[in-house]
Structures are given as C-alpha cells and as structure tokens.
Structure 1
C-alpha cells in the first residue's frame, strides 16, 4: 500500500513537472527575469504580455511603431526600446503556435488565440469589467505570471 502511494506520488510529481516544463517551452509563462523597464513602460497601459505569445518579427514591428502603438503614442527613449527589444527578441515565441505572424501583430488575432477563445461570445469582450480581448488579466487570474490555464479562468459579469 505504502509503495503504491509512493509510486503514485512520483508519477503525479513527474506529470506536473512535465506540464510546467511544457508550458515554459511553449512560451506561455513569463520569463523569470523581466526587465524593470518592460514592466514600467508596457504594463502602464496594458498587461506586460509574455514575449512568447508573439514571434520575434511581430515584436520588432511593434517596437518600431511605438509612436502609433494601436492608436496611442507609446514612444520611449531609444535606450529603453533597445533594452526591451533585445529581451523580447531573446524570449519571443519560436514554437509551432506562434510561427505565423498575426494580422496587425495582435495577439488577439493569432490563430491559436482565436481557437482558444472560440467559445467566448463577442458580447463578453465588451463588458465594462473586461473591455477587450486584449485584457487577459480580466479573466485569466494568473495572466501576469504568464499562466493562462483554463482552470484559472474567471469570466467577470
């Protein structure tokens, strides 16, 4: 009986660990070392998205167009852009989910995003408590840590 419980514990631990490693390799978790300037500048208006959610080319275009960043002027000092850019390039998505560059370099227009959210009615995105599909943390309770597990989703009214 005790041996059986030990084996089950080891199996569960390994399954959990492999899930964590898989999620990390998948680019969904926020890297451990996030530049303060990224948090300060990017999270001032929206969540600081995990860089693995977009391919490197998308991040490059986003940074080159900060003066017209989705309808806002998000221009930064060149040194800040360089620091953030280097970090985004080093941590950008390279796995199968983000091989393609989404329309307008929007995470919400990525094929994987559309597929994962296909059951969410368009009216949900318009709720005052959510505002838009780009506000991940409105529903994903651990989005700031890059955890988008569907079991952690709480859709506000």
Structure 2
C-alpha cells in the first residue's frame, strides 16, 4: 500500500510542477508545531530549509480540518506568496482532526476520538456497558465485560 501511496504522491508532485513550475516543491518534514499548525521542511533538490510552512490554507483560521504530518514524511508544498508556503500533500500523517461546530473526529495511530460538546462516544459506550451489567449481569457477565477492553483499544482510553 505504501508503494501505491508513494506513486500517487510522486505523480501529484510531477503534475503540479508541470502546471505551476517553480511554485511547487518537495521535501521532508523536520519538525511540526501542533499549536500554530506549521512545519519545518528540508527541501529535496534545492537544498536548504523552509521554516513555518503552513499546515492549514488560511493562517489563524477557525479549526475545521487539521492534518499533522509525521516527522520524516515526504511532502509536496506550494508557494502562496513570497516566503509563505503551504503543505498540500504528505506521505504519512500523525494526526487528522475534523471539527464542525462543537463536534469533532480525531484519528491518530493510538485510536479515535469522537466528541460533541462535553460528550464523547467513548464515555457513552462505557456507560452503556456499565448499565447493561447492572441489568443483565446474571446471564453473561464475562461477555459483557469483555466489551470494555475493545472500547478502550478503539478509543485509546482506560
């Protein structure tokens, strides 16, 4: 699968370079700032480093889609204006988060988090299991309690 993704990333980079010319660059992520949503990138062919490359198209924008590339990931970036760049594709993602209003979905290698306001799917599922044990316990306690570790693994919780 990684080879396929690499080929897509390479084809995308070649296509963009063909269409836009010197406005598109390739490099490797050397640091990521998940507060300001910027990354430092070591350029492949041109040498040198670019600092504070945007991870979101609109600087300072309200959170909507946040994609944090993994350290060492290969990236394609475009020049927005002089000395400002935006990462448009990356080979590996560390964290992906989509926010709409007070609802959010976060995906990392450790698990998922689905929230709306103060409620999370993780806590609701655990509460359902706890309530089932109170009502249904005599019949299949082991089967019901076996659900909790699966919830913990999916949502990376305790």
Which of structures 1 and 2 has the bigger CA Rg? 2
Structure holding more helix per residue: 1
TM-score, normalised with respect to structure 1: 0.27
| Relative contact order, higher structure (CA 8 A, sep 6+) | 1
Structure holding more strand per residue: 2
TM-score, normalised with respect to structure 2: 0.26
